[in-house]
Amino acid sequence: MAVIKPFKAIRPAKDKVSFVASRSYDEYSKKELDCVLDYNPFSFLHIINPGNSINRKVSGKERFKLIHNRYLDFLKNQILIKDNENSLYIYKIEKDNFNCCGIICATSTEDYRNSVIKKHENTLEKREKLFANYLQLVKFKAEPVLMIYPDTNEIS
């Protein structure tokens, strides 16, 4: 069985949750994205789209550094707050006729390398390098990696 561990999440301040939360960046139309960026200073979209605040498009290392700096601004201004204790987090999706529960946790990279956690897709080396550079400069990953497991009484 894969090793899972609790961790200290960084989450929106309770009074800002509804303002910080966003859909996937790709799900916004240009008009809708501009509206959120113009009228909601707490949106997480300000972190992942830092060029908006300087009124120009940025890419590569410059973009990654700006993302990191915006992230630090959100922490400094307590829009995002790090939990005090390590925890496992329950994630629940209810949509139409679909309903599932999951756990957000830290996992072992060794379990992944040793196929205890199975790959769900092959990745492209160019994208892996880009993502490695991103993580090195930005220092956070905003989206969980999805893994599934068979139903067991122990987990239930």
Q: pLDDT of 88-130, one tens digit each?
A: 998 888 888 988 888 889 888 888 888 888 776 777 788 778 7
The backbone region for 68, taken as left when phi is positive above 0, alpha when psi lies in -120 to 50, beta otherwise, is alpha
Distance CA 156, CA 151 (A): 7
Query: Amino acid identity, residue 63?
Result: R
Domain ranges of the chain: 4-138
State in Å, rounded, how far the first CA of the chain is from the last one: 15
Low-confidence ranges of the chain (pLDDT < 70): 52-55, 120, 143-151, 155-156
pLDDT score of 85: 97
Cβ distance 61 to 134 under 8 Å? Answer: no
The structure's pTM equals 0.77
Q: Which tokens go with 120?
A: 């769900």
Query: Amino acid identity, residue 103?
Result: I
pLDDT score of 128: 75
